[in-house]
């Protein structure tokens, strides 16, 4: 069933055409304007008498919605309010969050989205996106045909197995694709009429969810490896059949599945894993910016990554490929990495080591160099110039470790990237205190400014939210066929350049929310240019113009009967 179509009228202006009339129009968020329907639209769409008489404009609606938002005190209630608005009137939702972006970003995205995912079954009110359950494996075509947006160009998809730092959240993982797409639209300017959030419900191994009588997903342990691979293959084939060249963004899969899916599909379609590639892009941007501020470069840096899962290994891979691009040999690049996971420092004879971890494991011959393989033990021996946390182990960068590090290395770069806030390896304030401020810091979740040395310290966020909206905008604007390492490196450079030349602070190495839209556009220009130069774009023409023309701002289009 096609509920509506966005098209151009004879004057070349965009309108929304629908065959629906009356109440159903007010229940479809892409169509609903609420009190902003004009008298003419009310008459032609069967809405007379269904709305209060006064016709409002979008600004007036935003004002009321903001007052309603402010009536809630708990962040989770604010999140629920915004979700309901999103599912009621999409244009109003985007106009509101764009106007109050700094205040609302942490509510719709990290950290509050983590709470909303955990609360999913309890707080479920209205539905959005597609729920693709393994139980429906024989009905996948029908499910994908049942979408509301017909012209899908961007899909964010999760199986809820590795959500933020909170692990397996089953069907509740749907909150993440929805939140990512909100950022794609609010920051990246991708029209919400072209997006689709998808959750793959393949069971859950989270016993709390399985025991919860309100749990809304499939009450079944996660399916086995063979069933899973078969299911993914079927899903991809349906997506290809239904949406032809849609860009697929994989989000919050467990590390093993994230890597295998990316490896399997990255050369076959335009696909991107945010936890691996997006995180790599922002981490490299932060490192490049810190090194620029230090007057140094990547050669000879000692990079220690604590938590070698999807994000940690993704960062290592992106840095590694970037070093190769800069002319390092594979061995030279590899020698600059040390990875620690649950077993301690990873060696090539470590137990339970994955293939991607093995790429960065140290030779077993180096074992005698270390008294202990713990974070502290490794810091003392290798004296890392760059320390990255992707473990979701709160407080693991202890004061003692930080103090020792600062005494061994001049201005180390410290990136506690774990989310949500309470999972951060250290708070920025604790890092400044322990190192006497002789550091470059950026965090995964937002932290408030704090006072240090008589100055307010503002810490930027090293979050993939500063990468994926611009990458997606570029991909959709030029209809990119693939995402290449060169395109990702261009994204890192664009973020770094913007931050180093920013007008807010000469301490920042990563962006702050005020920069979001401009950074997304800079990233999009750089990535789109690279796609065109490398013959990866499906559209020819000036990539900058293509990006600018695509950029969507929330405003009402006339709704007409089709
Ligand atoms: P993951 O589960 O794939 O990886 C976490 C890794 O940490 C695992 O390999 C695990 O074995 C390891 N680990 C757990 N306890 C440990 C310990 N005590 N010592 C050493 N290693 C330990 O998860 P992920 O997707 O890689 O995400 C990890 C964290 O990074 C999460 O908190 C996530 O929110 C965050 N993250 C941040 C960003 C960002 O942009 N800032 C992006 C992606 C992920």
User: Each residue's pLDDT tens digit in the chain (562 positions)?
Assistant: 789 999 999 999 999 999 999 999 999 999 999 999 999 999 999 999 999 999 999 999 999 999 999 999 999 999 999 999 999 999 999 999 999 999 999 999 988 999 999 999 999 999 999 999 999 999 999 999 999 999 999 999 999 999 877 899 999 999 999 999 999 999 999 999 999 999 999 999 999 999 999 999 999 999 999 999 999 999 999 999 988 889 999 999 988 899 899 989 998 999 999 999 999 999 999 999 999 999 999 999 999 999 999 889 989 999 999 999 889 999 999 999 999 999 999 999 999 999 889 999 999 999 999 999 999 999 999 999 999 999 999 999 999 999 999 999 999 999 999 988 889 999 999 999 999 999 999 999 889 999 998 989 999 999 999 999 999 999 999 999 999 999 999 999 999 999 999 877 788 999 998 999 999 999 999 999 999 999 999 998 899 999 999 999 999 999 999 8
Q: By alpha-carbon position, which residue is closest to atom 2 of ligand 1? A: 309
So where are the chain's domains?
A: 57-253, 277-465
Which of 340-349 are b and which e, b meaning 16 or more Cβ less than 10 Å from the residue's Cβ?
A: bbeeebbbee
| DSSP states along 447-476 | ---EEETTEEE---B--GGGTHHHHHHHHH
Residue with tokens 């509101």: 96
Residues 6+ apart with CB under 8 A from 168: 160, 161, 162, 204, 205, 206, 209, 222, 254
- Report the residue among 309, 315, 344, 396 best suited for mutation to probe ligand 1: largest number of ligand atoms under 8 A from its CB: 309
Residues 6+ apart with CB under 8 A from 421: 110, 111, 445, 446, 447
- Report the C-alpha gap between 474 and 479 in whole angstroms: 8
Q: Which residues line ligand 1 (CB under 6 A)?
A: 162, 164-165, 255, 275, 279, 282, 306-312, 340-342, 390-393, 417-419, 423, 444, 462-464
- Report the C-alpha gap between 158 and 168 in whole angstroms: 11
| C-alpha dist (Å) from residue 106 to 24, 382, 465 | 32, 36, 11
**Residues taking part in catalysis:** 109, 180
- Report the C-alpha gap between 505 and 383 in whole angstroms: 28
| C-alpha dist (Å) from residue 385 to 302, 325, 475, 508 | 5, 21, 34, 17
Q: What angle do CA 147, 153, 154 make, to 5 degrees?
A: 85
Tokens representing 450 are: 């704090």
Which atom of ligand 1 is the closest one to the Cα of 463? 40
Q: How far is CA 113 from the centre of its chain?
A: 12
Tokens representing 541 are: 């023409």
Q: By alpha-carbon position, which residue is closest to atom 41 of ligand 1? A: 444
Pick the CATH number of 57-253 from 3.40.50.10380, 3.40.50.1980, 3.30.420.40, 3.90.1150.10: 3.40.50.10380
Same fold flag, 57-253 and 277-465: yes
Indicate the class that CATH gives domain 277-465: alpha beta
- Residue 223 DSSP class: P
């Amino acid at each position: 069933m096609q509920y509506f179509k966005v098209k151009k009228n004879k004057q070349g202006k965009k309108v929304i055409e629908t065959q629906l009339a009356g109440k159903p129009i007010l229940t479809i968020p892409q169509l609903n304007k609420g009190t902003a329907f004009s008298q003419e639209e009310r008459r032609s769409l069967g809405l007379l008498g269904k709305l209060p008489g006064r016709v409002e404009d979008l600004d007036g609606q935003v004002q009321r919605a903001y007052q309603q938002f402010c009536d809630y005190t708990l962040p989770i209630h604010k999140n629920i309010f915004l979700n309901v608005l999103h599912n009621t009137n999409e244009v109003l939702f985007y106009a509101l969050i764009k106007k109050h972006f700094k205040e609302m970003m942490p509510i719709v995205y990290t950290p509050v989205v983590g709470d909303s995912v955990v609360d999913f079954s309890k707080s479920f009110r209205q539905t959005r996106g597609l729920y693709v359950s393994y139980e429906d494996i024989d009905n996948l075509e029908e499910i994908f045909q049942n979408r509301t947006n017909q012209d899908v160009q961007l899909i964010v998809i999760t199986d809820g197995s590795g959500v933020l730092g909170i692990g397996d959240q089953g069907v509740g993982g749907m909150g993440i694709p929805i939140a990512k797409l909100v950022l794609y639209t609010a920051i990246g300017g991708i029209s919400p009429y072209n997006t689709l959030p998808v959750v793959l419900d393949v069971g859950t191994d989270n016993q709390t969810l399985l025991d919860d009588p309100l749990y809304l997903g499939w009450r079944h342990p996660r399916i086995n490896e063979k069933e899973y691979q078969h299911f993914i293959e079927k899903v991809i084939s349906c997506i290809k059949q239904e949406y032809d060249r849609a860009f697929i963004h994989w989000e919050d899969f467990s590390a093993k599945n994230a890597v295998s899916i990316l490896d399997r599909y990255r050369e076959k379609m335009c696909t991107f894993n945010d936890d691996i590639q997006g995180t790599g892009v922002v981490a490299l941007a932060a490192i490049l910016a810190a090194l620029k501020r230090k007057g140094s470069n990547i050669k000879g840096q000692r990079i220690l990554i604590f938590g070698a899962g999807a994000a940690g290994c993704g960062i290592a891979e992106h840095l590694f490929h970037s070093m190769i691009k800069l002319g390092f040999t594979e061995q030279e690049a590899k020698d600059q990495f040390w990875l620690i996971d649950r077993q301690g420092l990873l060696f090539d004879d470590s137990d339970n080591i994955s293939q991607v971890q093995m790429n960065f494991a140290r030779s077993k011959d180096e074992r005698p160099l270390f008294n202990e393989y713990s974070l502290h033990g490794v810091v003392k021996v290798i004296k890392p110039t760059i320390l990255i946390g992707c473990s979701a182990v709160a407080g693991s960068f202890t004061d003692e470790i930080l103090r020792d590090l600062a005494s061994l290395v001049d201005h180390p770069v410290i990136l506690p990237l774990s989310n949500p806030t309470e999972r951060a390896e250290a708070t920025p304030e604790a890092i400044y205190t322990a190192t006497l401020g002789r550091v470059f810091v950026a965090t995964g979740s937002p932290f408030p400014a704090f006072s240090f040395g008589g100055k307010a310290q503002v810490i930027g966020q090293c979050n993939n939210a500063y990468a994926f909206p611009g990458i997606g905008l570029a991909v959709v604007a030029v209809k990119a066929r693939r995402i290449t390492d060169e395109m990702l490196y261009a994204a890192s450079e664009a973020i770094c350049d913007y931050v180093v030349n920013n007008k807010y602070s000469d301490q920042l190495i990563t962006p702050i929310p005020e920069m979001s839209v401009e950074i997304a556009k800079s990233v999009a220009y750089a990535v789109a240019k690279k796609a065109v130069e490398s013959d990866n774009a499906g559209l020819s023409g000036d990539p900058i113009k293509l990006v600018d023309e695509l950029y969507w701002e929330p405003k009402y289009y006339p709704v007409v009967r089709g």
